[in-house]
Amino acid sequence: MKKHNFSAGPCVLPQSVLQKSAEAVLNFNNSNLSLLEISHRSKDFVEVMDNARNLALEHLGLQNKGYQALFLQGGASLEFLMVAYNLLEKKAAYLNTGTWSDKAIKEAKLFGEVVEVATSKSDNFNFIPKNYKVPSDADYFHCTSNNTIFGTQMQSFPEINIPMVCDMSSDIFSRQLDFSKFSLIYAGAQKNMGPAGTTLIVIKEEILGKVSRVIPSMLNYKVHIDKESMFNTPAVFPVYVSMLTLQWLKDMGGVSAIEKVNNQKAEILYSEIDKNPLFEGFVTNKEDRSKMNATFNLRNDKLKATFDDLLKQAGINGLNGHRSVGGYRASMYNALTLESVQVLVSIMQALEKGA
Ligand code: PMP
């Protein structure tokens, strides 16, 4: 029996996508060749790349609006560096909501002044700062929409007149937003899009070409745009699986349809965390709670062994919190079914009955 996979990433992918990916590894498009054996410049793979890029823009409502989608390597972590390399001339503004924002800030500081507009660091990042001011003379503003480790999520974004850059690694394609407010969005594939190994970058072309430094080719967004994301050999398998997942999302009814399911999943889990006396949520400010990663803990550590045993028996995988936070973290990405969350909730209820 397939496990209920609450892993934070790499994580659950749709079963039909796994099936088709496995078939393509053996025999891609009835070519009697593996997807892994063909040239990335072959007609069949160029089609995969084009489809993946188009589907990404389509899901975000950004087709024909001056945006380009790229599938690059190096993970979201390389984007911490590339964003600053390509956009930071003098000063950039960063909102610090967690470990990943912190890392992005560290890289940006290599290139210029960084203004931290607000931070929740002293409270172990358990809330999203509000009412901060973004300097209008900064080259761009950077934020992280979903804090994968601590389980917080931005519900609103500032109204600003400088480019807004967002790390959406752990909530891209999970909810509807006005994505045209963002000039650059990046996301590692390994949550809502595919396996590890590729990163989606969606970028408004007009923000490029404004820094005076020389940018090495591999780190230059313009070079990758001009080469249609094929400047060097792309990560063919991760791009293919991402394309299938984006197609699956389209067949499911797109972001608006999946958002409804994601809301239901978060609602039933958080209401159990709130009403079950054995548990407490990590994020106390309810409006800041992430719908992708719910962090919680047992109030009484002595119940841990029993709870862990019940989880194991029910086939629940990947529920341990990040090593820096501890406790539990239920990651409820797009491909995790409502049924998996119902099973988790029933285990929490069983623990309460038995306690
Ligand atoms: N940003 C966020 C929000 C993340 O959750 C992660 C990884 N979990 C990263 C960045 C880093 O991504 P990568 O490992 O692909 O470099």
For the domain that residue 30 is a member of, what is the CATH number?
Answer: 3.40.640.10
163 C-beta closer than 6 A to ligand 1: no
- Cite the active site residues: 100, 167, 191
One domain for residues 79 and 168: yes
Q: Which of 194, 226, 251 is the last residue in one of the domains?
A: 251
Which residue, by CA, sits nearest to atom 2 of ligand 1? 169
pLDDT of residue 350: 97
Determine the residue type at 353: K
Of 82, 106, 170, the one to substitute when testing ligand 1's pocket (max ligand atoms within 8 A of C-beta) is: 170
Shared domain check, 267 and 247:
no
Count up the domains in the chain and report the number.
Answer: 2
Cβ-count burial of 70 within 10 angstroms (0-12 exposed, 13-18 middle, 19+ buried)?
Answer: buried
Q: Are residues 219 and 325 in the same domain?
A: no
pLDDT reported for residue 156: 97
Last residue of a domain, one of 200, 233, 251: 251
Show the low-confidence residues of the chain (pLDDT under 50): none
Query: Is the distance from CB of 140 to CB of 165 less than 8 angstroms?
Result: yes
Residues 163, 307, single domain; the answer is no
Residue of 100, 101, 198 best suited for mutating to test ligand 1, as the one with most atoms within 8 Å of CB: 100
Q: How many residues does the chain have?
A: 355
Owning domain of residue 307: 253-354
Instruction: State if residue 100 touches ligand 1 by the CB under 6 angstroms criterion.
Output: yes
Record the tokens describing residue 27, joined without a space: 């025999």
Does residue 248 have a known ligand-binding role?
no
Any ligand 1 atom below 6 A from CB of 144: yes
Q: What is the tens place of the pLDDT at every residue in 29-62?
A: 999 999 999 999 999 999 999 999 999 999 999 9
- 294 and 163 in a common domain: no
246 and 284 within one domain: no
Together in a domain, 132 and 214: yes
Q: Check whether residue 56 and residue 157 sit in a common domain.
A: yes
In short, whether 170's Cβ falls inside 6 Å of ligand 1 is yes
| Res 1: pLDDT | 79
Q: Is 76 annotated as a binding residue?
A: yes
Pairing relationship of beta strands 152-153 and 146-147 according to DSSP bridges: antiparallel
CA of 268 to the centre of ligand 1 (A): 26
The verdict on 123 and 266 lying in the same domain is no
Residue with CA at minimum distance from ligand 1 atom 9: 76
With respect to residue 81, please indicate whether it lies within any of the assigned structural domains: yes
pLDDT, position 284: 83
Is 190 annotated for ligand binding? yes
Domain check: are 218 and 264 in the same one? no
Q: Which atom of ligand 1 lies at the shortest distance from residue 79's CA?
A: 16
Q: Which of 10, 23, 2, 63 is nearest to 244 (CA)?
A: 23
> 196, exposed or middle or buried, with CB in 10 Å at 0-12, 13-18, 19+?
middle
* Six-digit token string for 307: 């709870």
Of all protein residues, whose CA lies closest to atom 15 belonging to ligand 1? Answer: 75
Cβ(148) – ligand 1 distance below 6 Å? yes
Does one domain contain both 144 and 257? Answer: no
Q: How far apart are CA 281 and CA 299, in angstroms?
A: 10
Give this prediction's pTM.
0.98
